[in-house]
């Protein structure tokens, strides 16, 4: 299983504290792959569910896998950073150590922010990967629409191209913001994504279930109001009814909600500031939790005074379990000056 790919961010090498997303039908599979290569090291894994764990059949298996992991890797501690209180309750009920700490806290407010010099050209923007779970069709009634999209290989290349053609064919007023090269969506840097957000009046969240959906927080930090469908996963944790509407999963309902929020014309700085007022106390709670964890692990470092995470894009550096474990094992701390 050394070829299993996962994203890892090492928050600390001594003591070893690793942040990593988990998902799939057996969420601990990637942890087993890297954990067996670090079995002799005391380590804490902070597990971020990238897909909702509010799925009883998955959580039941998770409980059995947790018991197996503890027996086989006694030097490791697994802590779930859950996106909703219900997710925390379910994980705790099967014996997991879990706290409520929504992963949208990791989104960078330095990258995603209002740009006052950018004119609004679109009624809405939808940042959603090429996937039928994202339900792009729900946005097709919006008059002026920008798509930001990308592929993670859920469909074959031919399927990706057909998906792009379908988005392009809806309306001359709908645009894919990504460069389209050989029929496929190219990469947009985070700063370019933020610029597209600022060209739109409203951000869209249209899936029925996923994780907490980073782009929902990116919209809010950029000052966009949000239209969402009802959903599982935790993206609504930072929503506010003043500038967020939960609309029925119907194209006409989505269009009406977009027009309602567009016409409210709430100042972007107000949406951003009110969002950050919700984010900051939850970040402080996580920092306090991590400071206590470091102390319990024998660290002499002072309590955290600054947010220690670099933003979602940097957090998700993908490599094989073998590569990550090799880098962690080979790491040599820089000696402190006397």
Classified as helix, coil or strand, 245 is: strand
> Which pLDDT value is given to residue 335?
59
In a 3-state reduction of DSSP, which class is residue 251? helix
pLDDT along the chain (338 residues), means of 10: 92 96 94 98 97 94 98 98 98 98 97 97 97 96 97 93 94 96 94 98 98 97 99 97 98 99 98 99 98 96 94 82 96 65
What is the model's pLDDT at position 334?
A: 62
- pTM for the model stands at 0.94
Please tell me the predicted confidence (pLDDT) of residue 57.
Answer: 92
Q: Look at residue 332 in the predicted model and tell me its pLDDT.
A: 77
What SS3 state is found at 327?
A: helix
pLDDT at position 219 is 99
Q: Residue 126 in contact with residue 139, Cβ under 8 Å?
A: yes
**Given this model, what pLDDT does residue 311 score?**
79
Q: Which two tokens mark 157?
A: 């290349």
Per-residue pLDDT at 336 = 56
Residue 318 backbone dihedrals phi, psi, to 5 degrees: -90, 135
Give the DSSP H or E segment for 231: none
Taken as a whole, the chain contains a residue count of 338
The pLDDT value given to residue 2: 77
Q: What are phi and psi of 42, to 5 degrees?
A: -70, 130
Q: Is the dihedral of CA 227, 232, 234, 238 positive or negative?
A: positive
Closest CA to 132 of 162, 168, 174: 162
């Amino acid at each position: 299983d050394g070829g299993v790919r996962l994203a890892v961010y090492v928050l600390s090498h001594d003591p070893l504290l690793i942040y990593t997303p988990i998902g799939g039908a057996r969420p601990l599979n990637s942890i087993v792959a890297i954990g067996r290569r670090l079995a002799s090291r005391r380590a804490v894994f902070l597990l971020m569910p990238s897909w909702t764990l509010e799925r009883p059949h998955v959580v039941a298996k998770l409980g059995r896998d947790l018991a197996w992991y503890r027996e086989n890797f006694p030097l490791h501690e697994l802590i779930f950073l859950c996106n909703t209180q219900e997710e925390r309750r379910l994980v705790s009920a099967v014996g997991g150590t879990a706290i409520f700490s929504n992963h949208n806290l990791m989104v960078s407010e330095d990258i995603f922010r209002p740009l006052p010099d950018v004119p609004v050209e679109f009624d809405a923007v939808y940042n959603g990967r090429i996937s039928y779970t994202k339900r792009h069709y729900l946005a097709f009634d919006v008059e002026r629409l920008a798509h930001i999209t990308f592929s993670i290989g859920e469909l074959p290349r031919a399927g990706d191209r057909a998906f792009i053609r379908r988005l392009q064919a809806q309306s001359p007023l709908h645009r894919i913001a990504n460069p389209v090269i050989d029929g496929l969506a190219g990469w947009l840097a985070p700063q370019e994504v933020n610029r597209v957000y600022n060209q739109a009046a409203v951000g869209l969240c249209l899936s029925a279930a996923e994780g907490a959906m980073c782009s929902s927080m990116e919209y809010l930090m950029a000052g966009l109001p949000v239209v969402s469908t009802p959903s599982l996963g935790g993206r609504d944790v930072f929503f506010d009814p003043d500038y967020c509407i939960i609309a029925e999963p119907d194209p006409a309902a989505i269009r009406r909600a977009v027009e309602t929020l567009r016409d409210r014309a709430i100042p972007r700085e107000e949406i951003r500031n009110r969002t950050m007022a919700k984010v900051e106390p939850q970040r402080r709670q996580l920092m306090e939790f991590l400071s206590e964890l470091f102390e319990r692990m024998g660290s002499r470092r002072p309590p955290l005074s600054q947010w220690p995470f670099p933003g979602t894009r940097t957090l998700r550096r993908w490599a094989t379990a073998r590569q990550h474990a090799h880098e962690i094992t080979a790491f040599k701390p820089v000696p402190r000056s006397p």
